[in-house]
Structure 1
Amino acid sequence: MVEYSRKATRIDEQLHILNARGLRTENNLENQQRLENIGYFKFKGYCLPFYEDSSNDVFIAESTFEDVYASYIVDQKLHRILYGLLSRIESQLKSIIGSKIALEYGPLSHYDEKIFRSSQYQADWLAALNVNENRAQERRELYVDHYKKVYEDKVPIWVALEMATLGTVSKLFSDIRPELQKEIAVEKYSVPYVYLASWLQFLTVVRNSCAHNNRTFGRKFSISPKIAKKVKNKCPELEYPTIFTVFYVISKVCKSRNFLISSIEETSSIFANTSNVDISKFGFPENWREQIDTLS
């Protein structure tokens, strides 16, 4: 067994370590409480953009505890805004896909191979459906038992989607037949289906990141959404999978325009009231609102 040599440190000792590495901070009760609420390991993640070099833990001159802490607070607020938008998009997506499949192929057609690209994709869907049914029953969702009795141990597509995660819905869209994908993407989102499939996969990663409270300040997501070259030429920041890119993708798929506008207003207010946070570390250009309005 490998022996871990480092010793645990108290909160005041942790602040002393940060100060010794060049972070300007007061070792007072308020900062100790802040660090204790966040956790030293998590706080260090927010310190990364403030280091002189990624290979060491030495801070850029004049970096302060307040700067790092403010970045953390803004990150938390953006997670909340994004989570709300993504939850709204998820509900809309489930309704759109469920209605399209049910009206054109029938409420139980998702048990049939004909709407899928292959038998393996259908098997993947049914396996995920079984897992979701078990979880819903563990949560005592009464509608599951009701529909399974009415439809002889099967549930209609709209119930299946209600139980599904955004990731499962994203995979379903990727796995259904191209003609069905095209109809949904063009009729409801006015984009080619390959773009919508890519965006849903990207938003799933973002939603999971927000749900697990992962740091998004000074960080890029693990996958990039498909964005037209001409759009990237107009806004080079969209080349990178940052929170700004998330807002662009959301602006393309969110059907609740008023909710989207209010979320953008709230984001703008957060930035305006937190002057010591560098929004470029979230991927935002200075004219980000103009860019979103122009490109949406």
Structure 2
Amino acid sequence: MRNTQKIHYEELIITVSAYGLTLKDPLNREQYINGASFNKILSLYEFDRRLRLLLLGVLETIEIAFRTHISYEIAHKFGPLGYKNKEHFINEQFHQDSLNEMETLIKKSRKGELFIEHHFKKYEGKIPIWAVIEVTSFGFISKLYRNLNENIKKHIAKTYYQIPYLYLESWLQTLSYVRNVCAHYGRLYNKKLTFKPRLFKEERKQFDNQLTFAAIYITQRLLTKTEGIRFITDLEALISEYEEDIDFSCMGLPSNWRELLIKINNQKS
């Protein structure tokens, strides 16, 4: 038991050490700034953990909504099996790779997903888009959207999100990455985004697109008005609880972050 406890403690030390880097003296990286402590580092770790949980919840909402939008539009315009037709996509090789991945996912899902087995028994394995999309990941959906022909991409972006499709492509890629970070216990605090979201000119003036707030901002833009109000409330409560320990610059949080989120939420219909 003691050995197990020691291992868990050592793992915790390694895990939280990255948060301590923000408490280093910029003029002497071997020293910590005044006021730094292990408890403060643990607070940053706990804040980041709870931020990941908050984002996982709202990103799931966005993922479910987008699954619905993309499957409906593909089925409506191309038919239930229209996703199999390469003519509806930009890159033929990527389309074939996507079909191969879908086939693999369908086979894996036959035992655990009754609706997949139902289509095998009743429809000879002809799985409509609204069924197959349920066994794919956020990342897969992001790539599928990017490869759709421009007309349907424009329609989805304009109809459901009122933005140009190039922005929606970028945002889905960013949020797919963030979702994976959250799901695999990665770090968001003091970390640059691997996939930086495309921002409009006025937004670029107000915050950095390579830090976590950019992901928070585009998350807010893709939520419904009611979901957005709840997200702002939860985020504000979390930040308020850890405000004394957070270095806002490590998150890319501008001083008027709350006003920015409320403003874009008020613009939603």
Q: 1:152 aligns with which of 107, 124, 127?
A: 124
Shift of 1:215: 1.1
Q: Are the counterparts in 2 of residues 271 and 277 from structure 1 also a CA contact under 8 Å? A: no
Shift of 1:37: 8.5
Partner of 2:147: 175
Partner of 1:282: 251
Tell me the TM-score normalised to structure 1 length: 0.82
| 1:79-228 to 2 correspondences below 5 Å | 79-138=52-111, 140-228=112-200
Q: Compared with structure 1, are the counterparts of its residues 241 and 141 closer, same or farther at alpha carbon in structure 2 (3 Å cutoff)?
A: same
CA distance in 2, matches of 1:63, 1:85: 32
Partner of 1:242: 211
Partner of 1:229: 201
Partner of 1:6: none
Shift of 1:102: 0.5
- Extract structure 1 runs of 4+ deviating beyond 3 A: 53-57
Shift of 1:81: 0.6
CA distance in 1, matches of 2:30, 2:49: 24
Shift of 1:41: 1.0
- Provide structure 1 residue ranges, at least 5 long, that are not aligned to the other structure: 1-9, 12-31
Shift of 1:241: 2.4
Identity across aligned pairs (percent)?
27
Partner of 2:241: 273
CA distance in 2, matches of 1:99, 1:57: 56
Shift of 1:57: 4.1
Aligned length: 261
CA distance in 2, matches of 1:275, 1:93: 33
- 1:185-224 deviation digits (Å, cap 9, x = unpaired): 1111111110000000000000000001111111111120
Q: Which has the larger radius of gyration?
A: 1
CA RMSD of aligned residues (A): 2.2
Tell me the TM-score normalised to structure 2 length: 0.90
Q: Compared with structure 1, are the counterparts of its residues 65 and 160 closer, same or farther at alpha carbon in structure 2 (3 Å cutoff)?
A: same
- Provide structure 2 residue ranges, at least 5 long, that are not aligned to the other structure: none
Q: Are the counterparts in 1 of residues 72 and 130 from structure 2 also a CA contact under 8 Å? A: yes
* 2:227 counterpart SS class: helix
Q: Compared with structure 1, are the counterparts of its residues 66 and 125 closer, same or farther at alpha carbon in structure 2 (3 Å cutoff)?
A: same
